[in-house]
Amino acid sequence: MLYRNPERTLDSEFFWQGIDRGEFLIQRCDSCGQDRHPPSPQCAHCHSTAWKAVSYPTTATVYSFTVVHSPALSGMPTPFVVVLLEWPTGIRFLTDLPEVQPSEVSVGMLVSLRFVEVEEGVTLPIGFLDDDMVVA
Amino acid sequence: MTKSSAVAGIGASVFSKDSAKSELALAIDAIEAALDDAGMSRAEIDGMVTFTLDETDEIDLVRAMGLGDLTFFSRTPHGGGGSCATIQQAILAVECGAAHTVMCYRSINGRSGKRLGSANRISRSAGGGKAAWYRPFGITTPAQKVAVIAQRYAYESGATTEDFGRVSVLARKHAAVNPDAIFFERPITLEDHQESRWIAEPIRLLDCCLETDAAVAIIVTSSERARDARHSPVIVTAAAQGSAPYEETMSSYYRPVITGMPSMGVVGRQLWKRSGLTPADIQVVNLYDHFTPFVLIQLEELGFCARGEAPDFVRDGSLELSGSLPFNTNGGQLGEAYVHGMNGISEAVRQVRGTSVNQVPAVEHALVTAATGVPTSGLILGRDR
C-alpha cells in the first residue's frame, strides 16, 4: 500500500481518474497543441494555462529500462523490469513489466499498457508485451 | 566574484560505518579540525552554511562550541547538489560583507543512521506528488532512478558495465593509499566489479558510492585574512550553481535527451566564463561519484571529452594519476567516504596546497563538482598569486 498507491495532486487528479476509467490521458495545450507529462498547470512552450486531456494510444516503445534487483519491495518480487516508454509525440511514461523476463527487454521494443488493479483499490497502467505472451 | 575569497581551513571527523556519535558531535569534530588546520580562533566565525538536509542546526553548534554572534547563515538545497554551493554562499557573504569568516559543514550518520540509499528515506522525502510517476512502479532508490538514465546512455554511447567499472576501480586504487579512506588498502579489480551483484541494471553494487558516518568542515574567508592562516590560501577562482529546464530529482526522464546533464552544463559554462579557464587548464578533478555512469556523463558535459567519448577517455587512462586529468585522488565517495561531496572539496584544497596522499605535480587549478541528477554546483580552486 505504501509504495503502489500514487499520490494524487490537484494537477494530476485528471490522469488518475482516467486510469480508474481505463483511459490513458495526457495534457494537450489548448493554445499551441503541445502535449505534456508529468501534468503541469502551464504550458512551458507558449505559457497558456488552458488545456484538455486527450486519450492516448496505450502502445509505446521502450526508450530506456532497468532491471531492479535490490532492494525488494513488498508485492514486487525481484528481479523485475521497469521501462521508460516513449510515444511519437515525445511523451514519456515510466511503468513496470511484471510478466516480462529481464532477458526479453530491449530499447525500441513495443509495450502495451493495461489497467491493472495491483492492490485493492489501486489501479495502475502496467506494461505488457504486445503479443500478449503471458508467463503463467 | 572577484577571486578575493579563499579556503583557509579544512577538517573532518573520522570516517566510519558506525560513529557511535551524534551528528552534532561529528560536526564539532570536523569544525575543531578545520579551525586547527587554519590556525584560526572560533571567535572569528560569524557565518555558517550547511545543507537543507543537514540535521545539525547552526544554533546548536553555536551553543555547543561557544561560538559568538552569527551575521550570516544559509542552507543549500538538493542534497549533494548543494555541496559546492555552500562555498559559493560563503564567498558571496564574504565578498558583500555579510560575514568575514564562514564555516561550511555537513554532518551525517549516513550508514548507522538514516541511509540515503534506502527506499524508506526516498519515499518519505519525495513530495508534491512527483513520486507518483515512479514509486508505484517499483522505482524507489537513487540507484534505481539513475539506472534508467545509465541504460539509455549505454544504448546511445555503447558504454558497457566494464566502462562503468573502470571508474570504480580507479577510485578504489586511489582510496587504497589514503589512510582516512573507508577502503584504505582495499583496492578492487575490474573482475571484482563484474562479479559484484546487480542493484538495478546496468548498475552493480560496486558502481555505487559508500554510505558513511562522517562530517566535513571548510572555512571560507577573505583571501587577505587567509594569507595569515597556517596554510597558503586556496583561492575560490570560480563558483557556480546550476539548474536547467526539465530537472527532476534524479529522474529527469522527460527531457528531449536524457543522456546529457544540462544542470551540470549550466555550472560548467559559468565556471569557465568566470575563471577565464578551459578544461586544459585543470590539473586535477574531484567529480561527484555517487554512481559511476554519472561520472562519465559529467566528463562530457564539462567538456573534458566529447559526447559519447567518456568510455574511451577513461579506458585510455586519462583519469589515472599519470593521465591528463587525475580524478578523485582521495578515492572519492566510492572509496574514501560519502559526505555528500564535501570531502571532494577538501581533497581539491589539498591538491592545490600540495598535500594530497596522491599528489598531482604542479596543480594550479582543481575543479570540483556537486551531485549529479539534481540541481547542482561546482568550484574551481586555485593557487594564490
Residue A59 CA, chain-centre distance (Å), reads 10
Q: Cα distance from B119 to chain A (closest Cα, Å)?
A: 8
What confidence category does residue A72 fall into, taking pLDDT thresholds of 50, 70 and 90?
Answer: low
Question: Which of A64, A65, A101, A114 to mutate to test binding with chain B, by most B CBs within 10 Å of its CB?
Answer: A64
Pairing of strands B198-201, B203-204: antiparallel
Write out the catalytic residue numbers of B. 288, 338
- pLDDT tens profile A13-45: 999 999 999 999 999 999 999 999 999 999 999
Q: What is the pLDDT of residue B116?
A: 78
Nearest to B141 by CA among B115, B175, B106: B115
**In the prediction, which pLDDT does A105 show?**
96
Alpha helices in chain B (DSSP H): 23-38, 58-65, 83-96, 119-125, 142-157, 161-175, 190-195, 223-226, 262-275, 292-301, 310-315, 332-335, 342-353
Residue A77's pLDDT is what?
Answer: 87
The rounded distance, in Å, linking the Cα atoms of B151 and B157 is 10
Distances (CA, A) of B235 to A21, B103, B193, B229, B380: 61, 16, 37, 13, 9
| Residues 184-213, chain B, touching A (beta carbon < 8 A) | 197-203
Task: Check A92 against B253: CB less than 8 A apart.
Answer: yes
Interface with chain A: mutation pick from B123, B137, B197, highest number of A CBs within 10 Å:
B137
B182-207 confidence digits (pLDDT tens): 999 999 999 999 999 999 999 999 99
The DSSP output letter for A8 is P
| Chain segment B99-139, per-residue pLDDT in tens | 999 999 999 999 998 887 776 544 433 456 788 999 999 99
Chain B residues lying within 8 Å of A66, measured CB to CB: 139, 144, 147-148, 151, 200-203
pLDDT above 80: residue A82: yes
Please tell me the distance from the alpha carbon of residue B385 to that of residue B376, in angstroms, as a whole number: 29
Disruptive mutation site among A1, A43, A68, A109 for chain B (greatest number of B CBs within 10 Å): A68
The least confident of A60-69, B1-10, B66-75 is: B1-10
Contact criterion met (CB < 8 Å) for A82 and B138: yes
pLDDT of B227-279, one tens digit each?
Answer: 999 999 999 999 999 999 999 989 999 999 999 999 999 999 999 999 999 99
Residues of B in contact with A11 (CB under 8 A): 129
CB pairs under 8 A between A and B: 109
Instruction: Find all residues with CB under 8 Å of B58, minimum gap 6, and list them.
Output: B48, B50, B70, B73
Residue from the list B139, B201, B254 with its beta carbon closest to the beta carbon of A92:
B254
User: Which of B118, B133, B199 is the closest to A94 by Cβ?
Assistant: B133
- Residue A74 confidence (pLDDT) above 90: no
pLDDT tens per residue across span B61-94: 999 999 999 999 999 999 999 999 999 999 999 9
